[in-house]
Amino acid sequence: MAEARYKGRTLTLVIIVTLVFAGIGFRLSMLHLRPAEWVLEPIEEGRMFEIKSVGNRGRIVDRSGEILAMDLAAYHVYADPKYIAEHGDPAAVAKYLAKEFRLSEPEIADQLSDVSRQYVRLKKFVPGHQLKRFTRRAYGLTYTPEELVAGVETNIYLRGVGLEDAPIRNYPKGPLMAHVVGFANQEGVGSAGVEQRMDEYLRGKQGLRVSKKDGRRHEIYSERTVDIEPKDGATVTLTLDQQLQYVAEKTVEKTCRDFNAKAAWAIVQRVRTGEILAMASFPTYDLNRYAKAPPEWRRNRAISFNYEPGSTMKAAVVGAALDNEIVQETDVFDCENGYWIYGGKALRDSHGEGEISVADIIKFSSNIGTAKIALEMGDQLVYDSLKKFHFGDRLDVGIPGEEGGIFYSPKHWSKISITRIGMGHEIGVTALQVLSMMNAIAYNGVQMKPMIIKNVIDSDGVTLEENQPTVMGRPLSPAAARRMRSLLARVVMEEGGTGSKARVEGYTVAGKTGTAQKIRPAAEGGGYYSKNFTSSFVGFLPVENPEIGIIVVADDPGEFTESGRKIGYYGGTVCGPAFKEIAEFAVRYLRIAPEGDRIYVARPEE
C-alpha cells in the first residue's frame, strides 16, 4: 500500500517536472524560432549601430580666394566612468588628462566616480594640434607623455576615454573684415555678418550610417542598411579684397586716433558694377574672440549707423535741380553773407558768401544757397528726387544689420524742412546710401545695386548662387550727371574748394564734404548738439572715367581748445585725407589709369 503511494507520488513528480521542462523548452523554442515582437525589439535596439555626422561648415573667401573663415579639426574629450571603473584605471585617467589639459585632477576624479554614467565630457573644443600625444584605439586612447620613462618613450592606455569630433570655426585673418564676415557660435550657427546671412549655404549637411554591432561593439559591415555620407557646406566668395580692406581698416583706425573720433568707417565700391571692395569700421574686434568684444564694437556702422549726412546731400539736391532745369550752373543766388532767416529760423554758413553761382554753391558748400535752390524746386520735387536715389530704403547689400535710413514724406515736413533737407538735416542715411548716390552721379546717372556676395559654390563644384551687376534705377539723366561731375570736381581740384585735402596726385577727383551737427535725444531736450558732429567725405575717381567711389565717415571728431572751442572736426579736414590715403593705394593696387587714358566700352549712352 505504502509502496503504491510512493510510486504514485514519484510518477506525479515526474509528470510535473516533465511538464515544466516541456513548457520551458516550448517557450525557448518559441523565443528562438518564432520570437514575439516585444522580445526582438530590445535585442535589436541593443545591436543597433547608428552614427550621425555633419559635414564641415563651408569656407568664406575674399575675391582672390584668400580664406577668411574655415572649420578646424577639434574634439571633445569624454570618458565613460562605468567602463573605466570595470576595465580601466580612474586615477591614471584623472592624473594624465589633468596634466595634459591643465584641468583639476580632483574634479576629474569626482566626475569619474559616478559609475552610473557612461558619458562625461571632460574638455570641450580641443584643437587637433593639442592632441598630438593621443592616438585613438578601441575602447580608449593611447597617451604618450612628454617625459621619458627610464630613457624610453612610454605609451599609456587610457581605457574608457574617447574623442568626439567637434570642429571649431576659425578666422585666419582675425579682425580683418570682422564686421562683414561675422561669426558662427559654438553650436555652428551663423550669428552675424555673412556667416548669418549665408548660414543655409555654409552649414554642412548631416550624414547617417545605420548598421548592427557585434558583442565587442564593432560594426557588422554586412548589416549596414543606410550609408549617407555627410557633405561639407558651400564656399561663399565675397566681392571684398583683402588688401584694400586692410588699408581701409588701418586708415579709419588712424582717423579715429588722429582726430579723437568715437568711431569711423569707410566703403570702397566699384562704380560700374556695385561691387563692394572694402567695408571697414572702427572700433573692431577679433572674430576668434567675438564673445569678449562689446556689442558696440561688433556693429557694422557702414550699413547700420543712421546719421544726418550734412552737405554730401547737396550733390543729390543740386543734381536734381539741374536735371529738372530748375537752375543752371551759372545762375546766381544771394547767400546773405552767411546768415539768413527763413520761417523764423536762422540758417548759417561756416564761411559767409554774397552773390555766387550754383557752381560755387557746391564748391564752397553753401547751406543758404542750397536751401534757396531747394525752395525753387518745392517740397514734392525734392522728396521725389531723393527717393529716386533710394534714400529711406534698404539697398539690400547682402548682409544683416542694414538700415534703411529715415526720410519722411512732405506731409510730415514743417515750413523750414525743405531748407534743412537740402543741406543734409532732417534726413537719416547710411554711408552705403550716400556712396550709392555719389556713384550714380559718377556712372552717368545709373545707380547700381551694391553687392558683397560674389558667388556660392557647393563642395561638388556646383554654383548655387552667382550675383551679377544689377541696375537699381536712373535717378539722373546722363547730361545732368555729367554736369554734376564737373561741379563736384571743382570741390576737390580747385583752390578754395572744401575737399582739397582729398586730392590724389595725377588723378582728377570729384567729391563732397559733409559736416552735420548731431541730434540731441529728446530726453536731453531735443534739437542739435552745438559741439558734436558727424563728418564725412564721399567721392570718386578718375572724374572722366570713374572707376571707384569711396566714402569715409567719422563720428564726433575734433578737439577742444583751452577756451572751449572745438576744432578739427570738418569733413574736409578729417575725412578728406582718409579718402586720399585709401584712393592712393586703390589706384595703384587696381591699376587704375589716370582719367582719359582708358576707353570703356560699357558706359551707358549719354
pLDDT one-digit tens code per residue, 314-349: 999 999 999 999 999 999 999 999 999 999 999 999
**Sign of the C-alpha dihedral computed for residues 164, 169, 173 and 174 taken in this order:** negative
Low-confidence residues of the chain: pLDDT under 70: 1-7, 27-28, 30-54, 148-153, 207-228, 595-606
In this prediction, residue 14 carries a pLDDT of 78
Q: Which residues pair with 466 in a beta bridge?
A: 455
> Concatenated DSSP letters for 322-384?
HHTTS--TT-EEE-GGGEEEETTEEEE-SS---EEEHHHHHHHT-HHHHHHHHHHH-HHHHHH
- Tell me the C-alpha distance between 327 and 374, whole Å: 10
- Cell 503504491 belongs to which residue? 4
* Distance, CA of 370 to CA of 358 (rounded, Å): 8
Exposed, middle or buried by CB within 10 Å (0-12, 13-18, 19+), for 209?
middle
Distances (CA, A) of 420 to 346, 514, 543, 553, 579: 11, 14, 29, 20, 26
- Other CB atoms within 10 A of residue 130 CB: 14
pLDDT in tens, 20-74: 787 777 766 766 665 656 555 565 555 565 566 668 899 999 999 999 999 988 8
- Please give the pLDDT value at position 564: 87
Percentages (nearest 5) of helix, strand, coil residues in the chain: 40, 25, 35
Q: Residue 602's pLDDT is what? A: 45
Tell me which DSSP letter residue 290 carries: G
Whole-number pLDDT of residue 224 = 60
Helices (H) and strands (E) in the chain, counts: 18, 29
Strand duo 355-357 + 332-334: pairing: antiparallel
Indicate if the alpha-carbon torsion angle 275, 278, 280, 284 is positive or negative: positive
Q: What is the dihedral of CA 440, 441, 446, 451, to 10 degrees?
A: -20
Cis ω before 283 (30° cut-off from 0) = yes
Closest CA to 395 of 385, 405, 382, 386: 405
For the entire predicted model, the pTM comes to 0.85
Of 592, 554, 578, 558, the C-alpha closest to 248 is 578
Q: How far apart are CA 333 and CA 327, in angstroms?
A: 10
Residue pair 112/84 in contact (Cβ under 8 Å)? The answer is yes
Q: Report pLDDT digits (tens) over 242-254.
A: 999 999 999 999 9
DSSP characters for 183-222? -B-TTS-B-SHHHHHTHHHHSPBEEEEEEEE-TTS-EEGG
534 close to 556: Cβ distance less than 8 angstroms? yes
119: left (phi over 0), alpha (psi -120 to 50) or beta: beta
Contact 290, 298 (CB under 8 A): yes
pLDDT attached to residue 606: 43
Neighbours of 23 (CB within 10 A): 10
